[in-house]
């Protein structure tokens, strides 16, 4: 059986083995997918051991998304721009290819819910999670992509970094207050993990608009609920993005596209 894994530290909480095992069943692929805890500073060794043991590919999560760069021979443009790798493929010729499927996972989930990605999008946050999704969002050719972050200079840096790829601007809190509502609002901050809202006015939402929180939990996040109570028609958490990024990795490895909605439903119920 072909072997795949997710590397992280800690890793016991990971839903990736469950998701990929479901994909394998659904597409009738004979593969095994496990979670491997690598020691900090020993990512390359852990990967070598896995490859020697027949590993064909892996996902990479915190804190190894940068270490994964160093072991790769070929790196996709979207991973380079994201400055993070979440998918490695161990090729027959001994080389390693690296990619980042987070942004594609988000965009696929947004599109499957008919989010108007060609209109005005607000992305809140300017950390690693935001950086990973900007290029795929700009590939949807939004009328405008605005980045807002609590620390404005980081939003400005990101807007400059991606300026060649589309209409991207950083806004201050004051500018946001003066702006009209956005068609799609995406929260990439880690604020939801501590039940907090980012410092943005409720006027960012538009009536009947679309909101997305990249975080997820056992219940709707505070951001998801806040968006609904401020006129959004659709407000989703990041479980679909999690399954979506896994699906894109699976397709890279197995050249078959798994169906995501049934897996998202199964995870919600579990
Ligand atoms: P990640 O990889 O999850 O993006 P990160 O790189 O540490 O993690 O970035 C966290 C992001 O969440 C940043 O944009 C951070 O804002 P600052 O740059 O101002 O620190 C944002 N963030 C975290 N907690 C927040 C909070 N309570 N309110 C607003 N923004 C918050």
C-alpha triplet 161, 90, 53: angle, nearest 5°: 135
Q: Are residues 223 and 260 in the same domain?
A: no
Q: Tell me, what's the pLDDT at 253? A: 98
Distance CA 166, CA 81 (A): 14
Quick one: which atom of ligand 1 is closest to the CA of 154?
A: 18
For residue 91 and ligand 1, the question of a CB distance below 6 A is answered with: no
Q: Are residues 131 and 89 in the same domain?
A: no
Stretches where the chain sits below pLDDT 50 are none
Q: Are residues 200 and 131 in the same domain?
A: yes
Nearest protein Cα to ligand 1, atom 7 = 127
Q: Tell me, what's the pLDDT at 6? A: 98
Q: β-strands 96-99, 87-90: how paired?
A: antiparallel
Q: Tell me, what's the pLDDT at 263? A: 97
Ligand 1 centroid–CA 148 distance in Å is 11
Distance CA 261, CA 134 (A): 24
For residue 155 and ligand 1, the question of a CB distance below 6 A is answered with: no
Ligand 1 centroid–CA 218 distance in Å is 21
Could you check whether the bond before residue 177 is cis, i.e. omega within 30 degrees of 0? no
Distance CA 122, CA 187 (A): 8
Q: By residue range, what is the domain housing residue 111?
A: 103-237
Q: Are residues 119 and 224 in the same domain?
A: yes
Ligand 1 centroid–CA 128 distance in Å is 9
Q: Are residues 61 and 179 in the same domain?
A: no
Q: Are 266 and 22 in contact (CB under 8 A)?
A: yes
How many domains does the chain fold into? 2
Distance CA 268, CA 270 (A): 6
Nearest protein Cα to ligand 1, atom 29 = 198
For residue 100 and ligand 1, the question of a CB distance below 6 A is answered with: no
Q: Are residues 44 and 78 in the same domain?
A: yes
For residue 156 and ligand 1, the question of a CB distance below 6 A is answered with: no
Given 15, 37, 65, 257, the catalytic residue: 65
For residue 196 and ligand 1, the question of a CB distance below 6 A is answered with: yes
Q: Tell me, what's the pLDDT at 270? A: 85
Quick one: which atom of ligand 1 is closest to the CA of 125?
A: 14
119 is catalytic: no
Quick one: which atom of ligand 1 is closest to the CA of 197?
A: 28
For residue 127 and ligand 1, the question of a CB distance below 6 A is answered with: yes
Q: Tell me, what's the pLDDT at 246? A: 98
For residue 126 and ligand 1, the question of a CB distance below 6 A is answered with: yes
Q: Are residues 173 and 135 in the same domain?
A: yes
Q: Tell me, what's the pLDDT at 66? A: 87
Nearest protein Cα to ligand 1, atom 30 = 198
Ligand 1 centroid–CA 224 distance in Å is 17
Q: Are residues 156 and 44 in the same domain?
A: no
Q: Are residues 95 and 115 in the same domain?
A: no
Q: Are residues 161 and 209 in the same domain?
A: yes
């Amino acid at each position: 059986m072909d072997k795949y894994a997710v590397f992280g530290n800690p890793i016991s909480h990971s839903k990736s083995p469950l998701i990929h095992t479901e994909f394998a069943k659904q597409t009738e692929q004979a593969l095994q997918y496990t979670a491997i805890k690598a020691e900090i500073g020993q990512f390359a060794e852990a990967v070598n051991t896995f490859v020697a043991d027949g590993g064909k590919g892996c996902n990479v999560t915190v804190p190894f998304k940068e270490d994964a760069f160093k072991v790769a021979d070929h790196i996709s443009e979207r991973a380079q721009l994201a400055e993070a790798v979440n998918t490695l493929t161990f090729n027959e010729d001994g080389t390693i290819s690296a990619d980042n499927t987070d942004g594609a996972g988000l965009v696929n989930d947004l599109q499957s819910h008919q989010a108007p990605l060609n209109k005005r999008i607000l992305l809140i946050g300017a950390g690693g999670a935001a950086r990973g999704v900007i290029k795929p969002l700009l590939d949807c050719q939004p009328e405008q992509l605005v980045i807002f972050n609590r620390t404005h200079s980081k939003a400005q840096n990101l807007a400059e970094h991606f300026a060649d790829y589309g209409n991207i601007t950083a806004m201050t809190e004051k500018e946001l207050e003066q702006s009209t509502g956005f068609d799609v609002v995406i929260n990439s901050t880690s604020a939801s993990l501590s039940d907090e809202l980012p410092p943005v006015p409720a006027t960012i939402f538009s009536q009947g608009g679309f909101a997305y929180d990249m975080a997820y939990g056992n219940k709707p996040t505070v951001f998801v609920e806040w968006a609904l109570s401020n006129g959004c028609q659709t407000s989703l958490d990041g479980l679909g993005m999690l399954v979506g990024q896994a699906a894109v990795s699976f397709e890279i490895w197995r050249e078959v596209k798994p169906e995501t909605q049934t897996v998202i439903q199964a995870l919600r119920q579990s």
